[in-house]
Amino acid sequence: KRAMNRVLLGMALTGITLNVLCLNYLLPAVGMALLLLGFRALRRENRWFEVCWGITVVRTAYGYGLLVLNATILRGAFYASPAAVVLAADLALLLAECFCLRGGLRAVQEKAGLPPHAGGAAALMVWYGILGILAVIGYSGLLLGVAVIVMYVLTLRSLWKLSKELDEAGYGVRPAPVRVSDRAVA
């Protein structure tokens, strides 16, 4: 339950950007750390979560690298390169992470004796796809923006309910053994 809560909170923090009080830097950084810690605990549960862990490591290194790059004079040179390639790669990693999350949740449900359903993870893939399309076309309206945020909240709520369902079914995950504590990673 703790690992899934970390994953869901990490997704919530990395999915929404607030451009006030440096929260556009802080929230994604904390969200990436929570995703890393959540998938680190789940990585030995099944192959899908192991792939999620690998993707999250790559996304975290990339995300923190961008945060450091933004603080240097090299920022302008990096962003002068084709940003569409960087955006497409990041979106592909996000979609792959959501796809693997869906597979991992379905595998866990089968182990717990529950009927496999992970519509929330599939909806998350659709959400990121819509967000990518809106970014490409440069949409800046309020009405569709609010609808997209509401869809995101409902999707995360669906995943939270799925996590709660697994917990109530008595399914427990043995966290993978680690050499470095969660505090040190964070």
The answer to whether 44 and 176 are in contact (CB under 8 A) is yes
Q: How would you write the pLDDT of the chain (186 residues) with one tens digit per residue?
A: 788 888 888 988 887 777 788 788 888 889 999 999 988 888 888 899 899 999 999 989 988 888 888 778 777 666 666 656 666 788 889 889 989 988 888 888 888 788 887 788 888 888 888 888 887 788 887 888 888 889 888 888 888 888 888 777 766 666 667 778 878 877
What are the contacts of 126-133 at 24+ separation with CB within 8 A? Answer: 127/151, 127/152, 127/155, 128/91, 128/94, 128/95, 128/98, 129/95, 132/87, 132/91
